[in-house]
Each structure stands twice: as structure tokens, then as C-alpha cells.
Amino acid sequence: MPRKTLAAALAALLVSPAMLAAPAPTLTIYHANNNALFSGTSQGTLDTGHALVHETRALDVTAGQHELRIGGLPATLDPEAISVGFGGASKVTVLGQRVVLANASANGALDGAIGSEVSVSTDSRSDTALGPQFSGELLGASDAGLMLRTADGKVHFVHQYASVTLPADSVSGGSSLLLSVYAKSAGNRDAQITYTTSGLGWRAAYKATLASGSSCRMQFEMEASIANRSGRDYSGAAITLVAGQPNLGDRGIARFRTMSAPAPLAAAAMPVQASLGDYRGFTLGEPVTLPAGTVTLTPLYPAQTLSCERQYIVEDGNAYSPPHPRTSDYADGEYKNRAIASTLAFTAPDALPAGTLRAWIDSDGAPALLGEGDVADTPKGQHVAVQLGQSFDLRVNRERTSFHVDAAAHSMSESYRITLSNGGDAARTVTLREHPNRWREWSVASSSSKPSQQTPQLLEFEVPVPAHGKAAVDYTIQYHWLPKDM
């Protein structure tokens, strides 16, 4: 049966299988902004995202020095960031460890089953004397076949086989940890395992359902979207989600040993929120199961009704300040018949981790998607504005109407006319955001509308546009400078 070649050293490794229990692990999962992690178009395990995992495994040890195998670990495990301890009372000492990395696939599962009891079915071409079906300890595997040790202690090499039945823990993960241990006495011992892995990440998913009517009101739902592409299932896990952007480039278990595992909580409806250093943690109130290759949604906060604002924004330029006054005669940013951005704005009802907001509206009894946009990490009470798309009915023209430079007076003036049109049945108010950027010293010489906001880097107008009508704003900017500025 074709498969990837296994290194000869691992193929010859003899280990004693460990009896594995499956108590609930605890996971600290970090925010991930990678669409592939949450997409159904990317299959298999992914080397993106980051999580810290604490597990307890019950291992059957024998007296003396021997080797144990811990399977069911994620395929995306970081082999340099894994720690195992038995505790002083167990009188078990870890002498060394080796990680057998594999993918959560047919090939990887064979690697993950090394040291375990497997059942092999041969095909009609096989000439093995063991019969059509037999069991043994898997010692290695390669393109040429399997190496097994049967109950009588003999080692057999099976060239041709039809199927292999693997232990459940090897299929759920793919990577294995091989431990060299010394135990003063035999018995069942608990091993505490801590490791970091990619393939796990989370981000926020927000749903805003707008109510009908002239005022802006919305039902706001806040959920955590947790992706598991690690190649291993996590069942009934206690989970803490970390919001913020820590630097995880220098990975290593030493950085995490000071972090204690979050204590399991009694069943609760919503996560418990707390500060976590410079970041914010959300400890989920009840265990969550994360099957491999899935994206799980769980509430962050209760749904609530919020006031909101529909904004239509035209913005040109940015906060750029040139090193010298720009006196060249050119029209900066003229355009015609440009669409206007449609934005949903509101005040954050609580700390909002970064994620995606999807806005919906009722359309003949069925929800219709208005658009979606990104929400950045936002503290409670801060303004949130999400661009949903481009308005179909609103258009804008921008035209320069005059320009004059008076070199002797160290000044220049520039005028623009901005014309807005509304083809819809409802009146709209459009926000014009201009950034005068010929020089940092400027003032408004004249304007047909009073600015709603004026800062050293922004000139803003709020312009009502009637249904099926037009509106225009004319303004003139006067720039001044000193001779040394040129």
C-alpha cells in the first residue's frame, strides 16, 4: 500500500503502548485573522493560528526504565514547545522524549499508531503465514510494507495488505509523543502535558439585524468563531479565548510555563471576561467540543438591541503633510459619478474583539444581506463604523473651480465644488471628509455650508440630499507659509 517513507530510526523503534484516558483538556486559543483557517475551501491541517493546550493523560507504567507512547496529539504540534510531568508523588521520571510528527491522513495515521496494537487484513496476493487477518504491535511502516511484532515476540514484515485497523487516538490526531521514563513501581499514573499548536484560532462574528422604519435600530448578536484545523478532536474542552494581538513569532514552552491552566467553570450562559496582561480573555462558561476540520460558533455576549446610524461617506485624501508647500497647478482628486460608501455606525456595548460584522435587513419576511465588513479590537463605549458596501442611489462629483498662488504673499487658494445626487425614494445625509494637503497651515476662506468638523488635517461637512434630488458644497481653502518653508 503506497505511503510516505518513514525514517529508518523510527521504523525500528520499539515502544510500549500506553493506556490512554481522555479527561477534558483546557485550551487557551489566540485570535487569528486568517481567512483560510475559517474557510471550507482549504482542506486538511493548516499551519496558522495558535493555541496553548493543557491535558492530563492516564498512563499505564511498569517498574524500571521503559518507553511510553502518547498518541492523539495534533498534526500541527510544535515539537519544541511540549512539556510532560508526572508530579513528585508518582515517582516517575522522564528521561527523554521524542515527537513523531504526522499529518491527519492515512499516511500520518500510520505514523501516529507506531507502538500501538493494530489489526491487519491481507489481500489475495499476500503470502504471509500469519493468515488473512492478524494483530500485532506496529513497529514501523514504509512504502514497502509494515513491520509488526506479534504476541509470540516475533517480528514480521508484511509486504502487501488490504487494510489496517488503528487505535482511535491515532486517527484523532496524527502526532505522537514517545517518552523514555523510569518508574519505581508499576501502576496507572497521570501525566500532565502542556504544548502549543497551530491549526487552532478564533475571531469574533457579529450579526446586526436592522429593524424596519426611519430610525436606525438593530438586534446585535456577538459570537466567537473557533476554527480547529489542527488534525485532532478536542472533546468537552474548557476554553479561554484571548483577544488582542500578541507577538507569537518566538514560540517556546518557556514563555507559557508561568501561565496556569484556566479552572473549569460551572455551566453558565455566557463567557467570563477578564484582563490577561495587555490583552483580554474570555473564558467560556461551559465545555465546548471542537471536532477536527470544523468551525464552531459560541456566544460571547447576550444578544441586545442597539441604536445605530446609517452613514454615507465620501472621503478624499488622508492626513499627509508635505515637506514643502505644493504650489504646482494641478487638479487634485477630481472625479465624476462616483459611488458613495454605505456605513453602519454604533457605540460598542462592551469590549468587542476583532472580527467580521454582517448586516441584515428584513425583505418580505426573509433576511437579506446588506453587506459585511471588519471590526477592529474596540474597547467598550468606543465608536464603531463598518463599511457595508456602495450605495446604489447616491453619486458624487468633485470639481476644482479655481486655483491661485501669490508667491509674494506666501499664500495660495484653491476652490472645489462637490455635487451630490440621490436617486432613491428617501432623503439621505452624506458626510464629506476632505483633507487639504497642499501645506499644513490652512484655513477655510469661504464655504457654502458650515463645516461640521474642522481639525488641522480634516475638513468635514454634513450635507442633506433630498430624495430624487441634488445638493452641492462649494468651499475655498487658503494656505499660508513662511519663506523658510519653501
The per-residue pLDDT for range 161-214, each reduced to its tens digit, is 888 887 765 554 568 888 999 999 999 999 999 999 999 999 999 999 999 877
Q: What is the predicted pLDDT for the residue at 17?
A: 40
Quick check: 44 pLDDT over 90? no
- DSSP tag of 389: E
Domain ranges of the chain: 8-116+166-197, 311-340+385-485
Given a cut of 90, whether residue 449 has pLDDT beyond it is: yes
**Quick one: DSSP state of residue 202?**
E
What percent of the chain has a predicted confidence (pLDDT) above 90?
A: 53
**Is 438 within 8 Å of 482 (Cβ atoms)?**
no
**What is the end-to-end Cα distance of the chain in Å, rounded?**
77
CA distance 120 to 117: 10
Average pLDDT, the chain: 83
pLDDT in tens, 65-85: 998 888 888 888 888 889 999
- pLDDT grade, residue 109 (50/70/90)? low
The average pLDDT across 129-146 equals 78
Give the pLDDT score at 260: 37
Mean pLDDT lowest for which of 43-52, 118-127, 312-321, 388-397? 118-127
Q: What is the rounded CA–CA span in Å between residue 459 and residue 461?
A: 7
CATH topology of domain 311-340+385-485: Immunoglobulin-like (2.60.40)
Q: What are phi and psi of 101, to 5 degrees?
A: -85, 145
Question: 118: which 3 cell numbers?
Answer: 493494530
Task: Supply the pLDDT for residue 259.
Answer: 35
- Residue 48 corresponds to which cell in the numbers above? 496558522
pLDDT, position 374 = 95
The number of CA neighbours under 13 Å toward the Cβ of 340 is: 25
Taking only the tens place, the pLDDT of each residue in 224-277 is 999 999 888 899 999 999 987 666 654 433 333 333 333 433 334 577 877 666
